[in-house]
Amino acid sequence: MELPRLKIGQDVATLMPVYIKDRYTHCLLTGKSGGGKSTSLLGWWAEDNYYGNSKILVDPSGTLSLLCYAISGGNYVSMDNGIALNPMLSPYEPSQICDIVIESVNQMVTQTSPNLPFTVKMVDMLDEAIKNSLKINRRSLFCVLDYIKNMRGSAETKDGIIARLQYLLSDPKMEKLLCGKNSIEWGELIDNKKTLIVDCFGMSRAKFVFTGSLVTNGLKNYFRFIRRKEYKPVSVFVDEFQNFVSPGVSEILAEGRKYNISFCMGTQSFATMDDKMTKQMLNVGNIITYKLAYRDAAIIAKELDIEPQAIQYLEKYHVAYMTTKERGIAKAPYPLFVKEKSAPTSVMVEPQRKSKPSWFTTESYQPT
């Protein structure tokens, strides 16, 4: 089963509809805030939902999550819901689980602070703590933290690990999300064509980077460590994707067709990215852009082989696009009307029971 094509809009020159047909070469969607990026993502989410393939959304701001949930339903991960992303419950080897935790923490540190990633000594200490926790079946980052506190070794090395883990686990809501027992299992999610929505509303930037990195690294390790004769297709929508790009994820992007995985990456600007990350995000087969400032427009214009002013002064509700077969300017589709649905929470409120109607009022017997 192939992923369905996604509608870009109507080409202004030919008046013909244009589509993203080769999904496995991935898609980059750019545009200023309020330009229409979320509208396009919502429309594409609805198209994928119609065909029933597995879908994953990582939404740092939380503005798109509720609308997508109203369309598709599915597993909803947030700070207020009980579904967890516990990496310690992953069905992999201990050394592979160590890789997930270490890569996700490193991604958080490098993206949100001037600090350096884990040193070799830190990696060795964290590796030992995770493996020993798994050995005694204590599958929680809290157990890893406790083990490190009681380990012998350099105080400076221990403090570097403890500070990072304590920052994530000091919030009780993050504790439930990262240490809960009902964690997502990636193979079961994809094979059964289920939906996962990760709503990062209420998280600091460091925490949503770590949470989103758990998703991207979890997917990467599923394709790397679980051998299948044929992988079921899955589409992944990630807004502000630059926060979650790691070397391992870049490898999956390069091999999307092999694993039947399609990424749709959204970003507002390239200003916060270095040249290496910019090249990784531009190395896709489909680029769709709304209006951009000149600096960002100049970067995209080189890929689309047009003048930067054509992107800088795009009309409202219009996009410049490039697919594997064509390029041009298109008018974006009309936005969907979706009635927002309340996010699920882990707190269940029992409905109040109403008394049965009666023709007379019953009173307790009072002896005279």
Residue 268 and residue 90: Cα distance in Å, rounded?
A: 33
The Cβ of residue 252 has, within 10 Å, a number of other Cβ atoms equal to: 23
Is residue 279 a contact partner of residue 310, using CB atoms and an 8 Å limit? no
> In the chain, where do the E strands start and end?
6-11, 17-20, 27-30, 54-59, 75-77, 195-199, 234-239, 261-267, 286-289, 318-322, 327-331
Q: Pull the structure tokens for residue 163.
A: 């500070």
Residues in the chain: 368
Burial class (CB in 10 A: 0-12, 13-18, 19+), 275: exposed
pLDDT tens track, the chain, 368 positions? 578 999 999 999 999 999 999 999 999 999 988 888 889 999 999 999 998 889 999 998 888 999 999 999 999 999 888 788 999 998 888 888 998 898 888 888 877 777 778 888 888 999 999 999 999 999 999 999 999 998 888 888 888 889 889 988 888 888 888 988 888 888 889 999 999 999 998 888 888 888 888 888 888 888 888 888 888 999 999 988 877 776 667 777 777 888 889 999 998 888 877 787 788 788 899 999 999 999 999 999 999 999 999 999 999 899 999 999 899 999 999 888 888 778 777 643 333 334 433 333 444 444 54
Side-chain half-sphere of 280: how many Cα atoms within 13 Å? 21
pLDDT at 106: 85
Is residue 189 a contact partner of residue 59, using CB atoms and an 8 Å limit? no
Handedness of CA 27, 66, 201, 223 (dihedral sign): negative
Would you list the DSSP string of 301-337?
Answer: HHHHTS-HHHHHTPPTTEEEEE-SS-EEEEEPPPPP-
In the sheet that 6-11 helps form, which strands lie side by side, from edge to edge?
Answer: 17-20, 6-11, 327-331, 318-322, 286-289, 27-30, 261-267, 234-239, 54-59, 195-199, 75-77
pLDDT at 247: 66
Domain boundaries along the sequence of the chain: 6-81+187-331, 87-177
User: Does CATH place domain 6-81+187-331 in 1.10.150.120?
Assistant: no
Residue 275 and residue 254: Cα distance in Å, rounded?
A: 18
**Phi/psi of residue 103, nearest 5 degrees:** -65, -40
